[in-house]
Amino acid sequence: MDETIRVVSNDIQPVLTNTLNLVTQYGLSVIGAFVILVLGLWLAGWASQLVRRAFRQFRYVDPTLVSFAASVVKYVIIVMTIVAVLNKFGIETASLLTVIGAAGLAIGLALQGTLSHIAAGIMLLIFRPFREGDVIESGGLSGTVKEVTLFFTVMATADNVHMIVPNGLIWGQWIRNLSVNDTRRVQVLVEIAAAADTDKARAIIQQTLLDDPVSLSDPNPTVLIHEMTDDKVQFEAAFWVKTADVAKAKYEVAKKLQDALNGAGLARKTEPETTDTAPIPIR
């Protein structure tokens, strides 16, 4: 009986020894991997917050760009942490990184257009050629900027149509920001009769612009003859207004100028339109 127990004990002893060695070896690996994982996740969160605090020092950096940069830093550290954890278990990470790199290259080629819009969005958020609320023109499109994201810019047209424009179409074109300056120059055309006194008409236009509250006196408005024909003289009145008053000036001030000329008896008389077609007989 004792001999049998001794034989069984001798058979179990190597198994227990190997099991203990495996538990010790992999237990330490598991503990080490867990510690690396916890430290890596903590470091990712800390680095993300550090990036956010660093960008807060700059007033002109868009919050969207701050979130993007913080997210990039966070996920890069997480990926590095996962690679370190796998390496702790003895997994060959070189081939894994090669596969990830090849997959990233394939995804990048497939999403080349999308990535170009992201790159354009980053450039727009860094250099800020326009901001929310600005009226811009770019590549034949115009509207009021409502939101700028990494992928696209949201705009509202003059007739309040919601428009989503990929950033690549804006960054790759010329951009006119109609709102960035406080004042703008407006030009309107008014007409008088060909036989009317042009000096008197110019003086009336000049004085009307100086008296109008929308037109700024500095710089002074200018009045020039734009066109002369057999039946009319056309003046170009150029004056400065606040940017918010541009739309009002183009219509209201132009009407005031024409009314002032008409009131002074300088208006161009127009003949009623006639047609050469014979009336259709009623049967």
Q: Is the same domain home to 159 and 197?
A: no
Structure confidence at residue 7 as a pLDDT band (50, 70, 90): very low
Q: Is the same domain home to 99 and 138?
A: no
Task: Provide the pLDDT for residue 19.
Answer: 61
pLDDT at 1 over 60: no
Q: Would 270 be classed as within a structural domain?
A: no
Give me the number of domains the chain comprises.
Answer: 3
Q: Is the same domain home to 105 and 15?
A: yes
CA 39 and chain centroid, separation: 37
Q: Would 210 be classed as within a structural domain?
A: yes
Q: Would 269 be classed as within a structural domain?
A: no
Which structural domain, as residue segments, surrounds residue 193?
A: 183-263
Structure confidence at residue 262 as a pLDDT band (50, 70, 90): confident
pLDDT at 64 over 70: no
Contacts of 194 (CB under 8 A, 6+ apart): 228, 229, 230, 231, 232, 233, 268
Q: Is the same domain home to 56 and 155?
A: no
Q: Is the same domain home to 164 and 252?
A: no
Q: Which two tokens stand for residue 176?
A: 């006119």
Q: Is the same domain home to 212 and 253?
A: yes
Q: Is the same domain home to 93 and 10?
A: yes
Provide the CATH number for the domain around residue 155.
2.30.30.60
Q: Is the same domain home to 47 and 94?
A: yes
Of 196, 192, 198, the closest CA to residue 260 belongs to: 192
Q: At CA 106, angle to CA 105 and CA 111, rounded to 5?
A: 95
Q: Would 35 be classed as within a structural domain?
A: yes
Q: Would 275 be classed as within a structural domain?
A: no
Q: Is the same domain home to 206 and 167?
A: no
Q: Would 122 be classed as within a structural domain?
A: no
Residue-by-residue DSSP string for the chain: -HHHHHHHHHHHHHHHHHHHHHHHHHHHHHHHHHHHHHHHHHHHHHHHHHHHHHHTT-TTS-HHHHHHHHHHHHHHHHHHHHHHHHHHTT--HHHHHHHHHHHHHHHHHHTHHHHHHHHHHHHHHHH-SS-TT-EEEETTEEEEEEEE-SSEEEEE-TT--EEEEEHHHHHTS-EEESSSSSEEEEEEEEEEETTS-HHHHHHHHHHHHHH-SSSBSSSPPEEEEEEE-SSEEEEEEEEEEEGGGHHHIIIIIHHHHHHHHHHTT-PPP-PPP---SPPPPP-
Provide the CATH number for the domain around residue 35.
1.10.287.1260
Q: Is the same domain home to 169 and 188?
A: no
> Does 251 or 283 have the greater pLDDT score?
251
Which tens digit of pLDDT belongs to each residue from 128-147? 888 888 999 988 889 999 98
Q: Is the same domain home to 164 and 195?
A: no
Residue 251's Cβ-count burial label (10 Å; 0-12, 13-18, 19+) is exposed
Q: Would 120 be classed as within a structural domain?
A: no
Q: Is the same domain home to 55 and 21?
A: yes
pLDDT at 171 over 50: yes
Task: Provide the pLDDT for residue 277.
Answer: 44
Q: What pTM does this model have?
A: 0.60
Provide the CATH number for the domain around residue 239.
3.30.70.100
Q: Would 55 be classed as within a structural domain?
A: yes
Task: Provide the pLDDT for residue 176.
Answer: 92
Which tens digit of pLDDT belongs to each residue from 174-207? 999 988 899 999 999 988 888 888 889 899 999 9
pLDDT at 216 over 90: no
Task: Provide the pLDDT for residue 230.
Answer: 83
